[in-house]
Amino acid sequence: MSEDFRHEPVLAREVVELLRPGPGLVFLDGTLGGGGHTELFLEAGAQVIGMDKDPRALAAASARLARYGEAFRAVRGDFRDAKGVLAALKLDGVDGALVDLGVSSPQLDDASRGFSFREGGPLDMRMGPEGQTLADLLARLDERELGRILDEYGEERFARPIARAIKRAVEAGEPLDTARLAELVAGAIPRKAWPPRIHPATRTFQALRIAVNDELGALAAWLDALPAITRPGARAGAISFHSLEDRAVKERFRALCQACICPPGMPVCGCGAAATFKAVTRKAVTASEQEVARNPRARSARLRVVERLR
């Protein structure tokens, strides 16, 4: 099973250089997936707690990383609850934290998970067994709300006609799988406006996946928890694949690195506040041409890192 569940870690060299795992340090990998980044941290001598919502990812990564013994602990859970997970393990914080957002290649490739528009699968799209499925979401949202999600999370120009086509099929009780859903989406976009290199349903599927899993909510909670889950000197990194995610990371990291909170225009600082983090990356780190050639998924990856000061 573990060999089937392989996911090439993106920005591997950059993650290790910037997060600096090493002996005596404890790392929290919030998105264990196939265990690629965790393995790099373990190889560098760190202990790692690897979290994932997906029991299959946990089982495969645990089997693959068993040789590291007690240095690796797998925990099923949502990284939005990182603080509670560390408290349950009686840890006051970690020296390194990473989230590598989105879904893994094995999740995308397994039609039964409902992420694929090429092969028919159930309207699911959940990363783990809990929570609402895509079928639940499509039944609950009205056409306007669905259109807003496709516009906002998918930057889909044809959000409204796509939402109309989907809701019409759902309300007519048409039996839908992911392949039929993709057909409906493609049919709602004028052929001459189909994107050149990607399937016309790509943006819609991405938007629906983000909504089903409340991916932006989980990221916001992890960013808010950083002061509580890191020790002084710790480094925290986030790899995002979507402009909304990257913007959330950039803004929250900037706020964490800001010292003075006086209103602009004050002649002297009156708040006396000192920053708790400093930026390690001034701008997002992206994949080299060689990496993108080897692993096209890396094309849109953006890594940002901060360091806890005190």
Ligand X SMILES: C[S@@+](CC[C@H](N)C(=O)[O-])C[C@H]1O[C@@H](n2cnc3c(N)ncnc32)[C@H](O)[C@@H]1O
For ligand X, the closer of residues 80 and 242 by Cβ is 80
Judged by CB, which is closer to ligand X: 105, or 276? 105
**Least distance from C-beta 230 to ligand X, angstroms?**
18
Report in angstroms how near the CB of residue 196 gets to ligand X at its nearest: 26
Q: Residue 261 phi/psi, 5° resolution?
A: -115, 20
Tokens for 163, please give them: 């939402």
The backbone torsions φ and ψ at residue 300, rounded to the nearest 5 degrees and listed phi first, read -100, 10
Residue 218, classed as helix, strand or coil, is helix
Given the complex with ligand X, which of 167 and 209 has the nearer CB atom? 209
CA separation, residue 91 to residues 27, 86, 95, 111, 230 (Å): 11, 5, 11, 38, 10
Residues that bind ligand X (CB under 6 A): 7, 9, 30-31, 33-37, 51-54, 57, 78-80, 100, 102-104, 127, 218
Which is closer to ligand X, CB of 129 or CB of 195? 129
- In whole angstroms, give the CA distance from residue 269 to residue 253: 22
Rounded to the nearest whole angstrom, what is the least distance from the CB of residue 310 to ligand X in the complex? 28
Which residues make Cβ contacts (< 8 Å) with residue 234, sequence separation at least 6?
93, 94, 95, 96, 97, 307, 308
To ligand X, the closest distance from the beta carbon of 96 in angstroms equals 13
Cα–Cα distance, 166 to 139 (Å, whole number): 10
Q: Which is nearer to ligand X, 21 or 30 (CB)?
A: 30
- Closest C-alpha to 29, from 64, 71, 79, 67: 79
In the complex, the smallest distance separating the C-beta of residue 285 from ligand X, rounded to whole angstroms, is 15
Quick one: 127 or 285, whose CB is closer to ligand X? 127
**Smallest gap from residue 49 Cβ to ligand X (A):** 12
CA distances from 219 to 193, 204, 252 (A): 32, 20, 10
